[in-house]
Structure 1
Amino acid sequence: MSIVTRPPIHPRLVLVSAIILPASGQVLNRQPFRGLLFLFFILLLGGYTLKTAAPDVSMIGKLSGGIFVYAMAIYDAYKTARVRHEVWRAAKR
């Protein structure tokens, strides 16, 4: 007996979503708690580097902690979506 599973969301859609709105890629991948964790650390490290950076540092430098976690969240969402999509394609064959 075959179990019909719905296809995962396309990885490119997850990537675009993750770039536009932080942690939305994890939500699309059905990992909302993971998305909340990424969002928490984006805010935590962004706030930390904002408060501890020297006054003459650019705004990008002041928010670099949050930007780094944001980039990791984008990568994580896309990687997870790619793996799920490939597993689904292989199981479909």
Structure 2
Amino acid sequence: MSQTERPPYPPILVILVSAVLTGMGQVMNGQASRGLMMAFTALSLAWVSYNLTTPDHSFVGRYAGGFMIHAIAFMDAVRIAKFRRHEWETRSR
């Protein structure tokens, strides 16, 4: 390991950012294209589910597709952040 290599972000920080912004957890984990894909997919599915529902549905129901992808992106970012942190700590010993 080189001395200039920056440690990965702490998983708790990735959790907090990823909970608020879809795809940013992936960006923090060094997977920018994956984060962009998650954000675009969430927006696309939110638009589709909004257009397939009626005003009688709840807010969450109208944007269910986007919330589903947001949850998947969140779990993915947390898993990768924990893995990267564990790998970095193991290498630095």
Shift of 1:20: 1.9
2:46 is aligned with 1:46: yes
Normalized against structure 1, the TM-score is what?
A: 0.91
Counterparts of 2:20 and 2:60, CA distance in 1: 17
Shift of 1:3: 3.1
Normalized against structure 2, the TM-score is what?
A: 0.91
Give RMSD over aligned pairs: 1.2
Long gaps (5+) in structure 2: none
Between stretches 49-58 and 39-48, larger displacement belongs to 49-58
- 1:10 is matched with which residue? 10
Please give the residue correspondences for 1:34-73 in structure 2 after superposition, counting only pairs within 5 Å: 34-73=34-73
Counterparts of 1:55 and 1:24, CA distance in 2: 30
Give deviations 1:16-51, integer Å, cap 9, x for gaps: 011122211111111110011001110110000000
Counterparts of 2:62 and 2:35, CA distance in 1: 23
SS in 2 for 1:55: coil
Give deviations 1:46-65, integer Å, cap 9, x for gaps: 00000001331111101000
Percent of aligned pairs with the same residue? 35
Amino acid at match of 2:79: K
